[in-house]
């Protein structure tokens, strides 16, 4: 397998890749877009920083591509949508530059409190003007942290060391984590109204773009200080410029901008109250070495079919979670495949219900495994964990996930139900049995059955009349197919019964046609696992 390292990362990361058997590493720093397109044609992975753009054209050209790794946080230079559609994992390294970015944020905060850059420039000009550079203290001031993830949390810790009160706004912040970090969890309006210093640490999304705009600034204290070392566009620059000119904002510090590089004629360059740095958040020797090695290791593990870490377009699973999930992932795709085989051709909804201990596991990963299984008979081998949701969406199939506290006969149970356009539903439920945690089918369309989800499984629906078992056995035997095990289930005498039959070999089309031709057999489905 070939790995294209398109942007310069830590030499230790490249050395790690070169040391792995079966990998060929291509270093192509500073390549033109045309050259990247050419080199990508037969690579399994591409590693970039922020310079090289992994466009939809590159992804289409890279027919063997499995992974794109970004040595850093932002993936603006990667067409994530195109990668997802192709089933390509996009990974980044969100933790490698945490300390570097937190320290830079705090540097900007200190420069906002004490105008050190301005004073230093004045000294270089031969001046000595102490009165012009009076500042304020951080001690006993209130810091508002918008987004208390890894970086926001590190900034909060440093602020507490300086004796600051810390307010935090984060929609996903649990009360227990807020208490553990000794911060006050508040709504956004309260933070804007009470904070002396405000720093943002949110990703740039449709909901966070221009989170700090004219309306937000109007709610702030007079003389507030504002900082952004996260993503350009979270703070509306025109609103910030007006607020600084009016004196509403006393100082600001920015490492990221709406347009990068920052245009030469940007008004921000003319404001002495603003400290500016050219996107230096991860620019420390330690951070660059960390993200280079981290992305190299993550890409290699993904290529080997192991742990997926820090993926931006699929669930990331650590080694411990993967180990506990493996048998359930196996059960999930098999149930999905089975339901697709017994359901009508056109369905508009999938409903996945988890019972018992399985509700404590990663439902996102499990559900994707079920989606993949359902799509295998529709989209073929091109479907995987990455693109399954988008492929289902394209088919117009809604997926509902339920974690139920209803008691069942099993300590863990997964039920998959497909609903057709006419309202008819088709379902299968399964669990794990034994020390080896083997997947076992325990219900089909509400009928209790018991069958192994391995090899060839024949499912029959038939009217509950005498002699069907004999007909099935005789027909299969005549075509040289041996029955390994058989289970029958029905909800009422004389109704429609369900038979699940594990077979040693796959029956021929002729054998299946003969079974379908029997007047008592309603339907047949053969699933090969």
Q: Catalytic residue numbers?
A: 231, 260, 279
Are the C-beta atoms of 457 and 338 separated by less than 8 Å? yes
Structure tokens at 39: 């080199």
Q: What angle do CA 444, 474, 453 make, to 5 degrees?
A: 30
Q: Is 301 helix (H, G, I), strand (E, B) or coil?
A: helix
What is the DSSP secondary structure assignment for residue 40, as one 8-state letter? G
Are the C-beta atoms of 274 and 248 separated by less than 8 Å? no
The verdict on whether omega for the bond into residue 260 sits within 30 degrees of 0, i.e. cis, is no
CB atoms within 10 A of CB 487: 18
Q: Which DSSP string corresponds to 439-486?
A: EEEEEETTEEEEEESSSEEEEEEEES-TTHHHHHHHHHHHTT--EEEE
292 burial type by CB count under 10 A (0-12 exposed, 13-18 middle, 19+ buried): buried
Bridge partner residues of 224 (DSSP): 249
Q: Strands 197-200 and 483-490, how do they pair?
A: unpaired
What distance lies between CA 17 and its chain's CA centroid?
24
> Long-range pairs for 485-494 at CB < 8 Å and ≥24 separation?
485/451, 485/452, 487/449, 487/450, 487/451, 488/449, 489/443, 489/444, 489/447, 489/448, 489/449, 490/447, 490/464, 491/446, 491/447, 492/464, 493/464, 494/463, 494/464, 494/465
Helix (H) or strand (E) holding 114: none
- Give whole-number Cα distances, 161 to 138, 146, 164, 398, 423, in Å: 10, 19, 7, 49, 61
Of 450, 362, 444, the residue nearest 401 (C-alpha)? 362
**HSE-up (13 A, CA, CB side) for residue 314:** 32
The Cα 193–Cα 170 span in angstroms is: 16
The Cα 93–Cα 142 span in angstroms is: 31
Phi first, then psi: give them for residue 58, nearest 5 degrees.
-65, -45
Close Cβ partners of 249 (under 8 Å, ≥ 6 residues apart): 217, 220, 223, 224, 225, 226, 240, 243, 273
The Cα 17–Cα 5 span in angstroms is: 10
267 burial type by CB count under 10 A (0-12 exposed, 13-18 middle, 19+ buried): middle
Q: Is 164 helix (H, G, I), strand (E, B) or coil?
A: coil
């Amino acid at each position: 397998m070939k790995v294209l390292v398109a942007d310069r990362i830590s030499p230790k990361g490249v050395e790690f890749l070169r040391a792995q058997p079966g990998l060929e590493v291509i270093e192509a720093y500073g390549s033109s877009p045309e050259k990247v397109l050419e080199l990508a044609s037969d690579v399994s992975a591409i590693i970039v920083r922020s310079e090289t753009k992994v466009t939809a054209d590159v992804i289409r050209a890279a027919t063997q591509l499995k992974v794109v790794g970004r040595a850093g946080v932002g993936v603006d230079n990667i067409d994530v949508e195109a990668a997802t559609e192709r089933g390509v994992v996009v990974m980044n390294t969100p933790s490698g530059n945490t300390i570097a970015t937190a320290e830079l944020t705090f540097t900007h905060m200190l420069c906002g409190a004490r105008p050190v850059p301005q004073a230093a420039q004045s000294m270089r000009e031969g001046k000595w003007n102490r009165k012009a550079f009076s500042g304020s203290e951080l001690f006993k001031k209130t810091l508002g942290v918008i987004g208390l993830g890894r970086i926001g949390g590190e900034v909060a810790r440093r602020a507490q060391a300086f004796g600051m009160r810390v307010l935090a706004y984060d929609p996903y912040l649990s009360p227990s984590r807020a208490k553990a970090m000794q911060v006050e969890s508040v709504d956004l309006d309260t933070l804007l109204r009470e904070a002396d210093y405000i720093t943002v640490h949110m990703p740039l999304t449709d909901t966070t773009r221009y989170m700090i705009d004219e309306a937000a600034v109007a709610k702030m204290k007079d003389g507030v200080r504002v900082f952004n070392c996260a993503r350009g566009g979270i703070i509306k620059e025109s609103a910030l410029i007006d607020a600084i000119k009016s004196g509403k904002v006393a100082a600001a510090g920015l490492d990221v901008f709406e347009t990068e590089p920052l245009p030469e004629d940007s008004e921000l360059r003319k404001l002495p109250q603003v400290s500016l740095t050219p996107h230096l958040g991860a620019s420390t020797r330690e951070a660059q070495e960390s993200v280079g090695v981290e992305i190299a290791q993550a890409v290699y593990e993904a290529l080997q079919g192991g742990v997926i870490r820090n993926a931006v377009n699929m669930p990331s699973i650590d080694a411990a979670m993967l180990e506990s999930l493996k048998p359930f992932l196996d059960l999930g795709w098999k149930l999905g495949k089975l339901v697709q085989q017994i359901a009508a051709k056109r369905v508009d909804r999938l409903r996945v219900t988890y019972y018992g201990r399985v509700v404590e596991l990663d439902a996102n990963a499990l559900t994707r495994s079920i989606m993949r299984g359902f799509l295998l008979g529709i989209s073929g081998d091109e479907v995987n964990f990455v693109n399954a949701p988008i492929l289902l969406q394209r088919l117009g199939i809604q997926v509902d996930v339920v974690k139920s506290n209803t008691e069942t006969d099993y300590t863990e149970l997964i039920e998959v139900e497909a609903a057709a356009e006419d309202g008819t539903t088709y379902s299968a439920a399964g669990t794990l049995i034994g020390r080896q945690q083997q997947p076992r089918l325990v219900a089909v369309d509400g009928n209790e059955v018991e069958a192994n989800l391995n090899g060839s499984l024949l499912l029959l629906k038939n009217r509950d009349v005498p002699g069907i078992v004999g007909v099935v056995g005789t027909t299969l035997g005549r075509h040289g197919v041996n029955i390994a095990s058989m289970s029958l289930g029905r909800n009422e005498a004389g109704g429609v019964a369900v038979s699940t039959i594990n077979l040693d070999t796959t029956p021929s089309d002729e054998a299946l046609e003969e079974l379908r031709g029997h007047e008592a057999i309603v339907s047949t489905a053969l699933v090969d696992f």
